[in-house]
Amino acid sequence: MNKYTAPILIGLVVVLVILSGSMFTVDQRQNALVFQLGEVVSVKKKPGLYFKLPLVQNVRYFDTRILTLDAAEPERFITSEKKNVLVDSYIKWRVIDARQFYVSVGGDETRAQIRLNQTVNDGLRAEFGKRTIHDVVSGQRDKVMDLIRTKADQDARSIGVQVVDVRIKRVDLPESVSENVYRRMEAERKQVANELRSTGAAEAEKIKADADRQKQVIVAEAYRDAQRVKGEGDAKASAIYAVAYDKNPEFYAFYRSMQAYRESFKNKSDVMVLDPSADFFKYMKNPRAAGGK
Amino acid sequence: MAWNDPQWGNNGNRNKNSGPPDLDELWRRLNQRLNGMFGNRNTEGGGGFSSGGAGGGNLLGLLLGALFLVWVASGFYIVDTGQRGVVLRFGKYIETTEPGPRWHLPWPIESREIVNIDQVRTVEIGYRNNVKSKVLRESLMLTDDENIIDLQFAVQYILKDPEEFLFVNRAPEDTVLQVAETAMREIVGKNKMDFVLYEGRAEIATRAKVLMQQILDRYKTGISISQVTLQNIQPPEQVQAAFDDAVKAGQDRERLKNEAEAYSNDVVPRASGLASRLKEEAAGYKQAVIANAEGEASRFSQIVTEYQKAPQVTRQRMYLDTMQTVMNNTSKVVVDQKGGNSLLYLPLDKLQQIANQPSSGASDALLQPPVAATPTPPAPVDLRSRDALRSRDREDRP
């Protein structure tokens, strides 16, 4: 073994220890504060390798990424129409001034979040108090969020924090009010259902009535045409009869009467009460009676 | 790697001239650097170390060299397809590396992070794993018309910028969930319930996607939303029945209309059929009436022709023929009114009854009227119908 080996190794270790105490890196995601005996001497905002005095100076890192503050429980606010709403929101924030952040809240993220939460909730309470549920749910949602963000951001600068965004997640109605909403929705649906059914019935009736009308018209027109045709037939028949019977009207009367008698008295229930002196019986009384009358 | 080769340890001495020169080279360079750092304090010692340390120096050198190589090798890494490597030097972002084998300066100088950018990640809102296991806190939303709907959706996303993804937000993947919720609620809150539930489904998803992407870009999350899928949109369970009924009512309405159409389709053609029948009947009647008239006219004309040849006889014959037929077919009572002027009782209703009895073969039997209209007691007349017959029968049967 070389006699220098041991001292070199020892020297190497010492050098490494000193180096590690005098160098530090700042990550892309961080800012760093360099303290000298408790006093902030410099702020490292750029990532990279830095040197410091070992032992005398120490370094504290602050995460500068965007952090989320998402309340576990929704907050209860009152709108301008004196209705309760449960509002769930989140805040996106980041440390932009590590020194200020350290000075004002001790570099404690939790403390910063409590502070932010208060600011935002105050802002939300104020804005909700000026608006109706409809406004905050729908119409002015963006506006409310913008207002709160601006306000919270201004306030947060004093603790070295930038509020990137404040967004409302849920705007819900409390349980008891929800029940009322359900009842109302039910009623509305019932109304729709009834309307659908009655308009359906009405339309059906209309269609049926139209069909009936068509039927009547068709039948009546057909009847009219039919009667007309029959009339034509009758007329023609009459003409024919007239021509024929006009040849001997007297005989026609006799002939037709004979026919009519035959047709009229063909039922056994017809009872004829006859006078034996009738012409028909003349030979019954007197076989030698003269023919004719 | 030759350094891990088993022969290396065994043949260390034999190969010291051929194998290790680069190792020696490395060692020398390291020494030089160290010397440089310590301000050349150990120039002599270092020099002695490298030149004079023939036995122990070599062994130590080998050991340190091996450590050095391991250290250097720790800078190798492989970036798989769909991934990106992000290299930081002393915490500062240097570069993003594409897939393939890569090397960076080893710790503590440089470090790497490997990010899977093409992997499709999914966030589920309003449910977990299965649409049935709902998270009502997330899924119930207020609509513009202050109704409540139950909406479950999933968001799929990939990374578009690994650098932003790593450095700008602390929990970018949680951010997706938050953003998805706020965006969807904003969109739903701006639309009416019927739109969200029925016709607007596709549009809701598209608009939510756009809004989510805007918000995520504002936070510089490096995330790209690839798809927003609405798993389920429905009214809350409490009012489900009413909604179902409304849907049913819509169907009822259609059914009623269809039934009415069916009725119409039944009635109108039938009426047309009836109309055709009436017309045909009328046409038939017309032809029949005319034909009858022609027939009768013809018959009459012919008879007239014959009649004129012998009017008297023909007339007499026709009269008698007719009377015979008439008399044959009817019940007859011959009463001589001139002979007597006293009351004659004729039970016409009874006579008719007899005539109507189907089996009564004797109905047209000639009732013998009293020739002399002596007043007769009612009874004999009553009996006459039957009794007379019987008595006649008896008389006939001597």
- Chain-chain contact of A212 with B182 (C-beta, under 8 angstroms): no
Give the integer Cα–Cα distance in Å for B247 and B65. Answer: 80
Report whether pLDDT(B216) > 90: yes
Sheet of strand A39-44, all strands in order from the earlier edge strand to the far edge: A39-44, A30-36, A57-63
- Chain-chain contact of A138 with B190 (C-beta, under 8 angstroms): yes
Q: Which of B88, B239, B247 to mutate to test the interface with A (most CBs of A within 10 A)?
A: B239
Whether B366 and chain A come into contact, CB under 8 Å, resolves to no
User: Radius of gyration over alpha carbons of chain A, in Å?
Assistant: 58
Among B residues 107-136, those touching chain A with beta carbons less than 8 Å apart: 108
pLDDT of residue A2: 62
Query: Pick from B283, B290, B346: which is nearest to A237 by CB?
Result: B290
Structure tokens that stand for B279 in this block: 């017309």
**Would residue B313 count as lying in a domain?**
yes
Domain ranges of chain A: 5-62, 67-173, 251-285
**Would residue B20 count as lying in a domain?**
yes
pLDDT digits (tens, 9 = 90+) for A125-184: 998 999 888 888 887 888 888 999 999 999 999 999 999 999 988 888 888 888 888 999
- Find where tokens 């080998």 sit: B62
How many CA atoms are closer than 13 Å to the CA of B394, on its beta-carbon side?
6
Tally of CB atoms within 10 A around B261 = 15
Residue B370: closest CA among B333, B397, B395:
B333
Percent of chain B clearing pLDDT 90 (strictly above)? 27
Report whether pLDDT(B231) > 60: yes
**Would residue B19 count as lying in a domain?**
yes
Same domain, B126 and B231: yes
Return the residue of B nearest to A242 by Cα: B297
pLDDT of residue B54: 47
Domain that holds residue B227: 122-235
Residue B114: closest CA among B92, B88, B139:
B88
Number of domains forming the structure of chain B: 5
pLDDT digits (tens, 9 = 90+) for B337-353: 665 555 667 676 776 66
- Chain-chain contact of A27 with B88 (C-beta, under 8 angstroms): yes
User: B255: pLDDT confidence band, cut at 50, 70 and 90?
Assistant: very high
| Min distance A259 CA to chain B CA atoms (Å) | 8
Report whether pLDDT(B377) > 70: no
Q: Which residue has the higher pLDDT, A238 or B25?
A: A238
Report whether pLDDT(B9) > 70: no
Same domain, B143 and B227: yes
Same domain, B215 and B182: yes
Same domain, B136 and B54: no
- Chain-chain contact of A276 with B332 (C-beta, under 8 angstroms): no
Report whether pLDDT(A204) > 90: yes
Among B residues 172-191, those touching chain A with beta carbons less than 8 Å apart: 174-175, 178-179, 181-182, 185-186, 189-190
Q: Cβ neighbours of residue B374 under 8 Å, at least 6 residues apart?
A: B340, B342
User: B263: pLDDT confidence band, cut at 50, 70 and 90?
Assistant: very high
User: B7: pLDDT confidence band, cut at 50, 70 and 90?
Assistant: very low
Name the CATH topology of A67-173: Tetrahydropterin Synthase; Chain A (3.30.479)
User: B392: pLDDT confidence band, cut at 50, 70 and 90?
Assistant: very low
Q: How far is CA B95 from the centre of its chain?
A: 53
- Chain-chain contact of B215 with A268 (C-beta, under 8 angstroms): no
pLDDT of residue B382: 40
Give the integer Cα–Cα distance in Å for A17 and A11. Answer: 10
Give the integer Cα–Cα distance in Å for B266 and B257. Answer: 14
Specify whether the CB–CB gap between B97 and B162 falls below 8 A.
Answer: no
pLDDT digits (tens, 9 = 90+) for A11-50: 888 888 888 888 888 888 889 989 888 888 888 888 888 8
- Chain-chain contact of A271 with B330 (C-beta, under 8 angstroms): yes
Q: Exposure of A148 by Cβ count < 10 A (0-12 exposed, 13-18 middle, 19+ buried)?
A: buried
Residue B192: closest CA among B234, B143, B159, B225:
B143
Q: Tell me what the pLDDT averaged over chain A comes to.
A: 87
CA distances from A16 to A38, A51, B89, B105 (A): 25, 14, 19, 19
Residue A102: closest CA among A54, A153, A64, A56:
A64
Specify whether the CB–CB gap between A152 and A91 falls below 8 A.
Answer: yes
Query: Pick from A207, A218, A252: which is nearest to B300 by CB?
Result: A252
Report whether pLDDT(B374) > 70: no
DSSP B313-360: HHHHHHHHHHHHHHHHHSEEEE--TTT--S-----HHHHHHHHH-TT-
- What is the dihedral sign for C-alpha A235, A237, A240, A243? negative
- Chain-chain contact of A229 with B147 (C-beta, under 8 angstroms): no
pLDDT of residue B337: 64
Q: Which residue has the higher pLDDT, B169 or B46?
A: B169
Q: Cβ neighbours of residue A21 under 8 Å, at least 6 residues apart?
A: A54, A55
pLDDT digits (tens, 9 = 90+) for A226-247: 999 999 999 999 999 898 888 8
Q: What does the pLDDT average to over B44-61?
A: 54
Specify whether the CB–CB gap between B257 and A203 falls below 8 A.
Answer: yes
Residue A68: closest CA among A103, A21, A109:
A109
Q: How many CB pairs under 8 A join A and B?
A: 358
**Would residue B285 count as lying in a domain?**
yes
Q: What does the pLDDT average to over B44-52?
A: 41
Query: Pick from A26, A186, A271: which is nearest to B351 by CB?
Result: A271
Specify whether the CB–CB gap between B173 and B156 falls below 8 A.
Answer: no
pLDDT digits (tens, 9 = 90+) for B164-193: 898 888 888 889 999 999 999 999 988 998
pLDDT digits (tens, 9 = 90+) for A118-132: 999 999 999 899 988
Residue B168 belongs to domain with CATH number: 3.30.479.30
Q: Cβ neighbours of residue B306 under 8 Å, at least 6 residues apart?
A: B314
Q: Which residue has the higher pLDDT, B33 or B90?
A: B90
How many CA atoms are closer than 13 Å to the CA of A80, on its beta-carbon side?
9
Give the integer Cα–Cα distance in Å for A31 and B347. Answer: 139
Structure tokens that stand for B116 in this block: 């899977």
Same domain, B157 and B202: yes
ipTM of the complex: 0.71
Report whether pLDDT(B226) > 90: yes
pTM above 0.80, yes or no: no
pLDDT of residue B69: 92
Q: What does the pLDDT average to over A96-106?
A: 89
Lowest mean pLDDT among A217-226, B274-283, B296-305, B380-389: B380-389
Percent of chain A clearing pLDDT 90 (strictly above)? 30
Report whether pLDDT(B10) > 60: no
Give the integer Cα–Cα distance in Å for A188 and B145. Answer: 12
Q: Cβ neighbours of residue B393 under 8 Å, at least 6 residues apart?
A: none
pLDDT of residue B387: 42
Q: Cβ neighbours of residue B28 under 8 Å, at least 6 residues apart?
A: B50
Q: What does the pLDDT average to over A204-214?
A: 93
Give the integer Cα–Cα distance in Å for B374 and B366. Answer: 19
- A141 CB neighbours in chain B (<8 A) are 186, 189-190
Return the residue of B nearest to A241 by Cα: B297
| Min distance A154 CA to chain B CA atoms (Å) | 18
- Chain-chain contact of A4 with B45 (C-beta, under 8 angstroms): yes
Query: Pick from A138, A208, A280: which is nearest to B260 by CB?
Result: A208
pLDDT of residue B318: 87
Q: What does the pLDDT average to over B56-63?
A: 81
Return the residue of A nearest to B58 by Cα: A1
Same domain, B143 and B231: yes
pLDDT digits (tens, 9 = 90+) for B133-160: 888 888 888 888 888 999 999 999 999 9
Report whether pLDDT(B89) > 50: yes
- B238 CB neighbours in chain A (<8 A) are 179, 182
Report whether pLDDT(A1) > 60: no
**Would residue B142 count as lying in a domain?**
yes
